[in-house]
Structure 1
Amino acid sequence: MPRLRRPRSPVLLLRQVAAAVLVCLALVLALRPPPPGPAGPVAATTPVVVAAADLPAGTVLTAGDLAAAELPTDLLPSGGTADAEGLTGRLLAAPVRAGEPVTDVRLVGPGLWSAVPDGQVAAPVRLADLAVATLLRAGDRVDVLAAGVAGPTPSPAVEVVATSALVLTAPTPAVPDGPAAGAPAGGGLLVLAVSPDTAARLAAAAATATLTVTLGRP
């Protein structure tokens, strides 16, 4: 004769259900991602005007060349400004990369003069071989050579008209397209720091000869 199973106790069934619920709750808590920690201190920022695109030396700044940005205060270079209107119409003395703050030393004016050693002047020099100018960078030291015809004879003469001149600004590499394709931006114009006498010799040589440079140690 088959034995009859006794019905489960409601209390036992309730305990089993409660245990299953607790196990599921423990799994949910274990798999839940940890709550986000407290936010760190927010770095202080300062508004500053930056270049909206790569700009070559010799650019006359327009509103479209400039953009506003917020940079960390402790990383902000000196000489920056938040006044875009005050920069409009100014002439770049050196190339500026997109996103780079437009500081006073990148402009023709007092900022550029701050890099000129005492007793010297800033002298513009345009080289005969424009590609040579793109090899130079601010801070280089160069000797300037003038090549021309000495007197009525056709034999060329080369004269050193400046020695160890400090390069203040140099043009950017060649323009990639357009009518001026292949030419350095800014026309290959250098600005050198030299003595007043040397600046006079450079001006005289530029009127009668072609100029080039040799590089020395910066």
Structure 2
Amino acid sequence: MADAPPRRRPDLLRRFLRTRVLAHRRAWAALLLALAVASGLRTLAPPDPPTEPVLVAARDLPAGTVLSAGDLTTLRWPRGTAPDGLAARPLGRTVAAPLRRGEPLTDVRLVAPSLLAGYPGLVALPVRIPDPTAVSLLRVGDEIDLVASDPEAATADTVAVGVPVLALPGEPADGSGQVTSGRLVVLGLSATEVREVSVAASRQFLTVAFSR
């Protein structure tokens, strides 16, 4: 069969395409219908709700943790669902109460920028308590009594009553890589109590008793 003249080639191409389309018209119709349905569903589906960034704990954080970048992460929460009082600049601040991983960081979970905010007339004094287990029972905001005992003399005296726990710092290791003994507690004391507690801490065994 001789080749078709050049002027007839477009006619042959159109006839061929028409034949192919007619042969598969059902498949084409089904495809177009599916595209129309999908487009309609996208149009009818509600848009994703707006979100906002919320700073949360990246891991479980004990009370007394001084926050660093690795302690925090940002999650997207639906707008309007985040709790009030989100902390704006928490890095370097101290966690006042334990935080679970994923819990939003709010102002009430942090020690106030000034440890003595709300405690006029008191002085912040770091005191090392020899029994770390007793300190593990404390939370920032507790009010405690300090008892100084002398095992050799078999005496015990209360050296401070109803003093607030201001912070429970983490325990850094010393130069040898070992954690120092006991646990550090930052207490709010009067000027008179500061002297008495400091002397007792250097000479006697300090322990805590819950005031309330």
TM-score band, normalised by shorter chain:
0.5 to 0.7
Unaligned stretches of 5+ in structure 2? 1-40, 171-176
CA deviation after TM superposition for structure 1 residue 213, in Å: 1.1
TM-score, normalisation: structure 1: 0.57
CA deviation after TM superposition for structure 1 residue 143, in Å: 0.8
Q: Hey, what does 1:16 align to over in structure 2? A: none
Choose which of 70, 81, 97 in structure 1 pairs with 2:76: 70
Whether contact under 8 Å (1:79, 1:105) holds in the other structure is no
Measured at CA, do residues 204 and 91 of structure 1 come closer, stay the same or move farther in structure 2, by a change above 3 Å? farther
**2:101 maps to 1:98:** yes
**2:165 maps to 1:167:** yes
Distance 1:56 1:193 in 2: 21
Whether contact under 8 Å (1:145, 1:161) holds in the other structure is yes
Whether contact under 8 Å (1:165, 1:193) holds in the other structure is yes
**Over 6 Å off, 4+ runs:** none
Distance 1:207 1:93 in 2: 28
CA deviation after TM superposition for structure 1 residue 138, in Å: 2.7
User: Structure 1, residues 78-106: CA drift from partner, whole Å, max 9, x if none?
Assistant: 2512x5xx72xx25353433223345565
Question: How many equivalent residue pairs?
Answer: 161
Distance 2:119 2:106 in 1: 19
TM-score, normalisation: structure 2: 0.58
Q: Hey, what does 1:199 align to over in structure 2? A: 194
Other structure's SS at 1:202 match: helix
Distance 1:100 1:66 in 2: 10
Q: Hey, what does 2:27 align to over in structure 1? A: none
After alignment, is 69-78 or 51-60 more displaced?
Answer: 69-78
**2:87 maps to 1:80:** yes
Other structure's SS at 2:124 match: strand
- Percent identity over paired residues: 39
What is the aligned-residue RMSD (CA, Å)? 3.7
Q: Hey, what does 1:143 align to over in structure 2? A: 145
Unaligned stretches of 5+ in structure 1? 1-34, 173-178
Q: Return the letter of the residue paired with 2:129.
A: L
CA deviation after TM superposition for structure 1 residue 193, in Å: 2.2
Distance 2:109 2:65 in 1: 11
Distance 1:124 1:70 in 2: 39
User: Structure 1, residues 38-81: CA drift from partner, whole Å, max 9, x if none?
Assistant: 96995x75433222001234544433222012345464342512
Measured at CA, do residues 123 and 107 of structure 1 come closer, stay the same or move farther in structure 2, by a change above 3 Å? farther
Whether contact under 8 Å (1:122, 1:194) holds in the other structure is yes
Other structure's SS at 1:110 match: coil
Q: Hey, what does 1:215 align to over in structure 2? A: 210
Measured at CA, do residues 127 and 54 of structure 1 come closer, stay the same or move farther in structure 2, by a change above 3 Å? same
**2:57 maps to 1:51:** yes
Distance 2:141 2:193 in 1: 18
Measured at CA, do residues 45 and 164 of structure 1 come closer, stay the same or move farther in structure 2, by a change above 3 Å? farther
Distance 2:108 2:202 in 1: 29
Q: Return the letter of the residue paired with 2:203.
A: T
Q: Return the letter of the residue paired with 2:113.
A: P
Measured at CA, do residues 187 and 148 of structure 1 come closer, stay the same or move farther in structure 2, by a change above 3 Å? closer
Distance 1:74 1:187 in 2: 42
Other structure's SS at 1:96 match: coil
Other structure's SS at 2:207 match: strand
Q: Return the letter of the residue paired with 2:202.
A: A
